[in-house]
Amino acid sequence: MTADDTADSDAGTVDTGGGEATTGDRNGDAGDDSADTEFGRIMEKFAGSPGQQAVVRLLLERGFSVNADGRVVSGGIEIPDTGIARETGVDRRVVDATTDAVLADDELRRIFRNITAVPSLMDLAPVLGLTVVTVEVGEPEGAGIVAEITGMVAEHDVPLRQVLSDDPEFADEPELYLITDRELPGELLVDIRELPYVRRVEF
């Protein structure tokens, strides 16, 4: 099978009605994505196409949306299909097929027409001299997690520049990111680590 044959196969396997795909490798490369989460349900729609799953995963991770013309965009800026294809290791036609499938599915269309990227200071932190603390949470669906942890930070008079969190519906291991302009005191890090729902604290 040639690369073009693979692209043709990958470009036509989605059942946008939510049923099972009829061609392709159902094991794919989606890992342990569970259909019990929103992310898992989205990936399940592309279960017959590892290439399309890779494109969808990238769109979700980067906050890229799909406009009415089937183009991948970030805000009003169009992202070339060739760039998406290169990043995900698929043929450009797989990107086109993925966006076509998104627009053809009511649920997917609502999600990807409205998703947006949130500017993050995480990558800039070393340049700006900021501190990033990563908190892995074992019970992300619990109420008040962000409020409790940020409240503990405030009690130590540490100003927060930004707080970001993974959506437990879209992440297998959701994490909370605290970005500050100074290092957190050691006792505060210990107190956060000892919270019953915290698995790991990293900085």
Q: Is residue 57 part of a domain?
A: yes
User: What whole-number percentage of the chain has pLDDT above 90?
Assistant: 51
170 and 103 together in one domain: no
90 and 152 together in one domain: no
- pLDDT tens-digit readout, 107-125: 999 999 998 888 888 888 9
Please give the backbone phi and psi of residue 159, each rounded to the nearest 5 degrees, phi first.
Answer: -70, 140
Q: Is residue 86 part of a domain?
A: yes
7 and 105 together in one domain: yes
90 and 178 together in one domain: no
24 and 98 together in one domain: yes
132 and 70 together in one domain: no
Picking from 51, 79, 114, the residue at the C-terminal end of a domain is 114
pLDDT computed for residue 48 by the predictor = 87
Picking from 95, 114, 133, the residue at the C-terminal end of a domain is 114
pLDDT computed for residue 35 by the predictor = 56
Please give the backbone phi and psi of residue 6, each rounded to the nearest 5 degrees, phi first.
Answer: -60, -45
- pLDDT tens-digit readout, 42-101: 999 999 899 999 999 999 888 899 999 999 999 889 999 999 999 999 999 999 999 999
71 and 158 together in one domain: no
**Would the pLDDT of 168 be above 80?**
no
Q: How many domains does the chain have?
A: 2
**Amino acid identity, position 141:** E
Q: If you average pLDDT over residues 120-132, what whole number do you get?
A: 90
Neighbours of 126 (CB within 10 A): 10
pLDDT computed for residue 21 by the predictor = 30
What domain range includes position 161?
Answer: 125-202
Give the integer Cα–Cα distance in Å for 135 and 146.
10
**Amino acid identity, position 51:** G
pLDDT computed for residue 141 by the predictor = 67
11 and 81 together in one domain: yes
Q: Is residue 14 part of a domain?
A: yes
- pLDDT tens-digit readout, 8-43: 445 554 443 333 332 233 233 333 455 567 788 899
Q: CATH number for the domain including 160? A: 3.30.70.260
pLDDT computed for residue 130 by the predictor = 92
Q: Would you say 203 and 132 are in contact if contact means Cβ atoms under 8 Å apart?
A: yes
pLDDT computed for residue 13 by the predictor = 45
